[in-house]
A and B are shown apart, each in its own frame.
Chain A
Amino acid sequence: MATTIMIVDDSPTMLMSIEGILSKAGLGVVKAASGEEAVTTLQGGTKPNLLITDLNMGAMNGIELIRRVRKLPGLQFIPILMLTTESQQDKRNEAKSAGATGWIVKPVDPDALLKVIRQLVPGA
């Protein structure tokens, strides 16, 4: 079964960029342009192997999204990576407390991103 990665970002450019990197690596991609859209998609039964989310996204930010995702059945333990321009330690700590698996500062090198994904999702 193909590995599916969900990308959540309010920037269409970022969505296309990360989708391009992942799809070139043979990974399946599900996109969401907001935290709300991501939650709706996940509640609809989509079960990604890993979730990548932006931090600052308007109404529902990435940390709130993580909190919501962790409460959804079957998604308590999926790896969630925060991909953001922010690098402050207090925000990292907040994301970690919310249930984030890792923190990546934009821009991320495609190879480095794929390496982390394969580290978290064996067989990806």
Chain B
Amino acid sequence: MAWAPPPLALRWSGPLCAGLSALVLAGAGTVAFGPVPGVAALAVLGFAANWGASWVSAVLSRPSPSPEAPAHRAPAEAPQAESRQDDPGAQEATGPATGHAAVPAEIPAEIQATLADHLAVYDRLFERAATDTASVTTETEAAAYDIMTSLREVDGAMSELLAFLDLSGSNTRVVEIVDQTDQQLTENRQLIGDFLVRRDEDVVTCRQRLDELDVATAQLTRATDGVQAIARQTNLLALNATIEAARAEKAGAGFAVVAREVKELSSASAGTATRIAQDLASLRVSIRENFASLVTDRVESERGELMKIASAIASLTENMERLVAHQRDTLVKVQEESARIAQPIVRLIGSIQFQDVTRQRLQHLEGIFAAARTHLHALDLSNPLTKSWPDARSFAEIALSEGPSPPRSAAKQNNDIELF
């Protein structure tokens, strides 16, 4: 008796191809392909997943092939098959009850062509999916390598910066230099202060000397007063002598001449004493004026200039201290920020592992695509070499086999670490 009529085969062909897609997609699980453009072909296969999901479940849940349940039969066909159990032709058409059931000898060419067309489309889809997946693997690996290289460069630069700061001891050295400078500035300020004190002492000494000189000139002035008193007494004595000489008349003529000379000497002494006193007074005034000009004014001027220098030194010291404080704060900030950035960099470096996880999952998918294509080729009834149906269960085991662990956030889950 001839094999099942065309309508049965047509009902069978849809779930078969859809089921293959569903197997692949179900086996792929939920790999994170969102950002991956090359696997857009998988979305095309999605429509078949819904359609064929029930077929997959049936394939996996049904028992091993037996005479009562041929391995290759789709669920949609089951009721018809069961209704044909009494039909010996049906048993003949479905072949022996093994995992590789024989292909019926007589299948209409029209059905074969239809199935071949469907299978060819899915074969191309799987081929493209495999190609795109491989491309994605290559591209993401190259991108991850570039990211990793850049991260290492950033990390290296940060490490070099920190090493430089540690090795040069910039902070410590700057503090040392500024301390030395501050010490020198303090010493200079101390020298200025000491100098001013000494100048003040010099002024006091000069004033004392001047006072002593003043006393000495006063004594000299008093001495000239004595000279003038003697001159007055001498003049009075000369006057008395002149009177006495006049009373002696001719005998006193010579004495009168002497008395007149004494009087002139007395007048000359008094005049000389007066000039000396006047000169001493002028000298005292001149000394005091010159002292005020040479000592007092100049010392005050020097004090003013030195105070400006001292003030500038104090300002310089203050600015140096500010500079040091700023630089110290800057260095500390750089070190703190570098340390703070280092941890995220390590986490980023660790996160690149996701690329390897994704790569292995994609490679797992590539294996499933290859198995799917092999399975499709085995289903090609137009191939004269196709003598038996491929085993759907073995293919399902491949498609649904557990692949690499899914990508996950290492920071948000417990790490799967087991020590034996």
Residue contact B148 to A101, C-beta cutoff 8 Å: no
What is the CA–CA distance of A110 and B346 in the complex, to the nearest angstrom?
7
CB distance from A88 to the nearest CB of B (A): 6
Residue contact A116 to B149, C-beta cutoff 8 Å: no
Which A residues are CB-close (under 8 A) to B347? 110
Residue contact A92 to B350, C-beta cutoff 8 Å: no
What is the CA–CA distance of A21 and B155 in the complex, to the nearest angstrom?
11
Which A residues are CB-close (under 8 A) to B353? 13-14, 17-18, 106-108
Residue contact A13 to B351, C-beta cutoff 8 Å: no
Known interface pairs A11-B356, A87-B416. Does A105 touch B405 (Cβ–Cβ under 8 Å)? Answer: yes
Chain A residue with Cβ nearest B361: A85
CB distance from A124 to the nearest CB of B (A): 15
Which B residues are CB-close (under 8 A) to A102? 417-420
Chain A residue with Cβ nearest B141: A13
How would residues 98 to 120 of chain A score, 1 for a CB under 8 Å from any chain B CB and 0 otherwise? 00111111111110110010011
Which A residues are CB-close (under 8 A) to B354? 107
Residue contact B141 to A11, C-beta cutoff 8 Å: yes
Chain A residue with Cβ nearest B417: A104
In the complex, whether A73 has a CB less than 8 A from a CB of chain B is no
Residue contact B148 to A107, C-beta cutoff 8 Å: no
What is the CA–CA distance of A103 and B418 in the complex, to the nearest angstrom?
5
Residue contact A56 to B360, C-beta cutoff 8 Å: yes
In the complex, whether B355 has a CB less than 8 A from a CB of chain A is yes
Residue contact A85 to B155, C-beta cutoff 8 Å: no
Interface set, chain A 63-93, CB cutoff 8 A to B: 84-88, 92
In the complex, whether B402 has a CB less than 8 A from a CB of chain A is yes
Chain B residue with Cβ nearest A13: B144
CB distance from A95 to the nearest CB of B (A): 8
Residue from B349, B351, B359, B408 having most chain A Cβ neighbours under 10 A: B349
Per a CB cutoff under 8 Å, which of B152, B404, B408, B418 touches A16? Answer: B152
CB distance from A66 to the nearest CB of B (A): 11
Per a CB cutoff under 8 Å, which of B141, B346, B405 touches A85? Answer: B405
Interface set, chain A 1-59, CB cutoff 8 A to B: 9, 11-14, 16-18, 20-21, 24, 56
In the complex, whether B9 has a CB less than 8 A from a CB of chain A is no
What is the CA–CA distance of A89 and B383 in the complex, to the nearest angstrom?
42
What is the CA–CA distance of A118 and B189 in the complex, to the nearest angstrom?
58
Which B residues are CB-close (under 8 A) to A120? 419
Give the contact-size bracket for chain B: 35 or more
Which B residues are CB-close (under 8 A) to A20? 148, 151-152, 155, 346, 349-350
Known interface pairs A21-B350, A107-B351. Does A11 touch B359 (Cβ–Cβ under 8 Å)? Answer: yes
Residue contact A110 to B420, C-beta cutoff 8 Å: no
Residue contact A24 to B148, C-beta cutoff 8 Å: no
Residue contact B346 to A24, C-beta cutoff 8 Å: yes
Known interface pairs A21-B350, A85-B405. Does A14 touch B417 (Cβ–Cβ under 8 Å)? Answer: no
Known interface pairs A24-B155, A85-B361, A108-B350. Does A13 touch B145 (Cβ–Cβ under 8 Å)? Answer: yes
Which A residues are CB-close (under 8 A) to B342? 24
CB distance from A122 to the nearest CB of B (A): 15
In the complex, whether B411 has a CB less than 8 A from a CB of chain A is yes
In the complex, whether B410 has a CB less than 8 A from a CB of chain A is yes
Per a CB cutoff under 8 Å, which of B151, B410, B419 touches A116? Answer: B419
In the complex, whether B357 has a CB less than 8 A from a CB of chain A is yes
What is the CA–CA distance of A102 and B408 in the complex, to the nearest angstrom?
20
CB distance from A83 to the nearest CB of B (A): 9
CB distance from A114 to the nearest CB of B (A): 9
In the complex, whether B415 has a CB less than 8 A from a CB of chain A is yes
Per a CB cutoff under 8 Å, which of A87, A96, A105, A107 touches B350? Answer: A107
Which A residues are CB-close (under 8 A) to B416? 87, 103-105
Interface residues of A (CB under 8 A from B): 9, 11-14, 16-18, 20-21, 24, 56, 84-88, 92, 96, 100-110, 112-113, 116, 119-120
- Shortest Cβ-Cβ A-B pairs, 7 listed: A85-B404, A107-B353, A105-B416, A20-B349, A102-B419, A110-B350, A109-B410
**Extra A-B contacts (5), CB below 8 Å, given A13-B141, A20-B346, A85-B356:** A12-B141, A17-B356, A20-B148, A107-B410, A108-B353
Q: Can you spell out 12 A-B residue pairs with CB atoms less than 8 angstroms apart?
A: A13-B141, A13-B148, A20-B152, A20-B155, A24-B155, A100-B420, A101-B420, A106-B356, A110-B347, A110-B349, A110-B350, A120-B419
